[in-house]
Structures are given as structure tokens and as C-alpha cells.
Structure 1
Amino acid sequence: MTKEQNQSALLVMDMQNAIVSRYVSEEGALLPFQTAIMTAREHGIPVIYVGVAMREGIQISPLNKMFGRMPANSGITAEHPSMQIHASLSPLPDEPFVGKYRVSAFSGSDLENLLRSRGIDRLILSGIATSGVVLSTLREAADKDYGLTVLSDACIDSDPEVHRVLTGKVFPAQADVLTVEDWANSLTQE
């Protein structure tokens, strides 16, 4: 295992039942995520799951366009079945789940403490949505000086054109953008 692999982690973000059901309609759409997870495990790269996990009874400001319309007790707590990780992507017992309160994986979570305590300085990003958690996490992680890779086919967005522009034009300014297959091949070449 190379030094770089010891310092990397795959983030599997917002792959929760309610979110997957909103964005995924084609059978096989989760295959790149499954392959990325399997590849990370095979190469000893930690897999960290990140997802929305509000506290029971929390009311979010109506100024927040994404979360502000949800009533308190709207079922987006970590324990709610709709917020569980999709069964086809289930974490192993030693793979942590990091709950977050907003769009970025870092917002209101202990993700940075977890990463720093494990000496992780490079993140491989995957998740739903490209224009949501992936974009927000990429921007914040870049500002925190993490090395970044985005797995373009292990990101999904409701608007294919937005996905194309982000992965083809915006993300490359701060991250390496690779398909899961290209990323997996790069690991075997190291």
C-alpha cells in the first residue's frame, strides 16, 4: 500500500434511501458507487459514509431554501428508515457514518476531526447530488487544503447538464476528476 493510499478516504455522501429514491430511476445507476466502495476496500482505503441527520424537533430557518421548508419532526433524523444508507451500499461495521446538518459534509459534523485523527489528507468524493453535497464538500475541502478526486460517474444530479458542467469545467480547477474505472486503474499502477 502506498503512502498516498494510507492518507486517502472515499466519502460516500447522501446515499440515503429518501435521496436515492428521488434521483435514481434506472437499475444499475448505483453500480459505479458499488464499484468505488469495493475498490476502496480492496486497496485499504477507508470508506466513510456521510448523510443528512437532523436532530429530532429542530426547526430550520425559513431563509434556508433547501431545508427551511421542512417542518420540525420531518423524519430526517439518522434513525428514520428513509435516512438509512441504501441497502445496496451498506457500510461494514467498522465504516463510520458521519451525520451532517446542511449540504456540505463538513457542516455541523465531526468529519474534519475524524479525517485529521486518521491522518487523511486526500478525499475521493462520490454522492448525490453533484450540484449539492459534492459541490459544497469539494469547495469546503479545497479551502481546508485536502487533495481531492471526484468520481464523475459515482455522482448523480437531477440535471445532466449541470452535472456535465460541474465535472467537466468547474471541479477540475480544484480536483482530479476521474471515472471509477480510471481511479481504480490508477490505484493498481501505483
Structure 2
Amino acid sequence: MATANTALLLMDLQPAILAGMPNDKLAELLDRVNKAANAARAHQIPVIYVALSFRPGTPEVSSNNQFFDAARSRFDNPDFANIHPDVAPQTGDIIVYKKRFSAFTGSDLDVVLRGLNVKHLVLAGVSTSGVVLSTTREAADKDLQLTILADGCFDADEETHRVLLTKVFPRQAGMKTIDEWCEGLD
């Protein structure tokens, strides 16, 4: 597998977002994500973390946005944007801060990708129906090649997760497990 012009996007791996996951599934997810991140670093593939973050007082949150307005009090916390310590960025990794579901909305991700000459995004994150779906759609509209690491994603709604991974995403992205992707790098 060609790794030139590829970046690994690890999205919304923040303790406040992951708090709803069962502990056993969380530990497994974080282990798999670490495997992907370490493999990417070993093959000089940029690792880009995407985190949801707002200014104090959340002025970026509109009362017209039903989801974000309802969660406003959760976001107004200086620690909200922290990445889970079990998958913490390492030296050389990039962190991008976004303002909505898509990794592109309110962030400088597009500028970073152009600066790195990235044409292929490999995606993992929580939740499948939030950041993964929104980022996949927007990245596809930007004509980026996409791979979704199916076992690097989680959604609290198992049926929604299944439908997205088996019916929706394969129309716009290659689907791989983290093991398959890592093995393809060698």
C-alpha cells in the first residue's frame, strides 16, 4: 500500500466524549488506535488528532444548533479538549481543534492537509454517526481518497454503527480493520 500523501486522522478521542463507552470496549478501542498511530509513525505517515474545543463561554455555539446548544455546559470546560492520555499525541503529531461534528468545520484541517500534500485520509474516531460520518462526507466532497478503520470507530447506537460501516461508508471509502491497514503498510 502506498503511504505517500497519506495521513491518519484520530478524531474526538477526548475523555469527556469517551465517557459513555463501556470500559472494556474503551480499553480495546484505545489499544487498537494506539496500534494504528504507532504504525503510522513508523512509516512516516502524519498522525493528526482532531478535538472538539470551544472558547470560554462557548461563543461559537449557536442556540439554533440543537445538539451543541443542549451540550453547551459540557463544552465550557478548559479540560474538555484534552486527548485521552492512553492515546496522547507524541512529538511530531498534529492537533487540530474543530467546532462542529466534521473535522473540517471551524478548524484549519484543510490548510494542514494541503501543507502536507495529503490526498488520502485514514479515519478513526468516536462517534461513527458524528465525527466519522460528517468528516467522511466532507472529505469525499473535497475529493480526498478515504479509508475508514472500522474497528477504530465506535457509536453508542450499535445498529447505526453497523449500517454506517456496512452500507453507507463503503460507497465513499475503503473499509479496513486496523490490523489489515497496519499489515498493508509493510
Could you tell me which residue of structure 1 aligns to residue 51 of structure 2? Answer: 51
CA shift, 1:70, in A, is: 3.5
**Equivalents in 2 of 1:140, 1:24: separation in Å?**
29
Could you tell me which residue of structure 2 aligns to residue 88 of structure 1? Answer: 86
Corresponding pairs, count: 183
Residue 76 (str. 1) matches residue 75 (str. 2): yes
Match of 2:180 among 179, 182, 187: 182
Superposition map of 1:166-181 within 5 A: 166-181=164-179
Which amino acid in the other structure matches residue 52 of structure 1?
A: L
**Equivalents in 2 of 1:57, 1:179: separation in Å?**
39
My pick for the range that moved more, 109-118 or 16-25, is: 16-25
Q: Do the aligned residues in 2 keep the contact of 1:17 with 1:81 (CA within 8 Å)?
A: no
**Equivalents in 1 of 2:80, 2:21: separation in Å?**
14
Could you tell me which residue of structure 2 aligns to residue 105 of structure 1? Answer: 103
State TM-score, norm by structure 2: 0.92
Could you tell me which residue of structure 2 aligns to residue 65 of structure 1? Answer: 66
Q: Deviations over 1:50-88 (max 9, x none)?
A: 0101112234222212101234xx3536x8223210001
Match of 1:22 among 4, 20, 23: 20
Q: Do the aligned residues in 1 keep the contact of 2:96 with 2:107 (CA within 8 Å)?
A: yes
CA shift, 1:142, in A, is: 0.1
**Equivalents in 1 of 2:80, 2:65: separation in Å?**
22
RMSD of equivalent CA atoms: 1.6
Q: Do the aligned residues in 2 keep the contact of 1:123 with 1:147 (CA within 8 Å)?
A: yes
CA shift, 1:119, in A, is: 0.5
Q: Do the aligned residues in 1 keep the contact of 2:8 with 2:46 (CA within 8 Å)?
A: yes
Could you tell me which residue of structure 2 aligns to residue 32 of structure 1? Answer: 32
CA shift, 1:9, in A, is: 0.3
**Equivalents in 2 of 1:126, 1:21: separation in Å?**
17
**Equivalents in 2 of 1:80, 1:86: separation in Å?**
14
CA shift, 1:129, in A, is: 0.2
Aligned-pair identity in percent equals: 43
Q: Give the secondary structure class of the aligned counterpart of 2:130.
A: helix
Q: Do the aligned residues in 1 keep the contact of 2:58 with 2:75 (CA within 8 Å)?
A: no
Which amino acid in the other structure matches residue 177 of structure 2?
A: T
Q: Give the secondary structure class of the aligned counterpart of 1:5.
A: coil
- In the TM superposition, structure 1's runs of 4+ consecutive aligned residues that sit over 4 Å from their partners are none
Could you tell me which residue of structure 2 aligns to residue 115 of structure 1? Answer: 113
Could you tell me which residue of structure 2 aligns to residue 12 of structure 1? Answer: 10
Q: Do the aligned residues in 2 keep the contact of 1:61 with 1:68 (CA within 8 Å)?
A: yes
CA shift, 1:24, in A, is: 4.2
**Equivalents in 2 of 1:169, 1:108: separation in Å?**
28
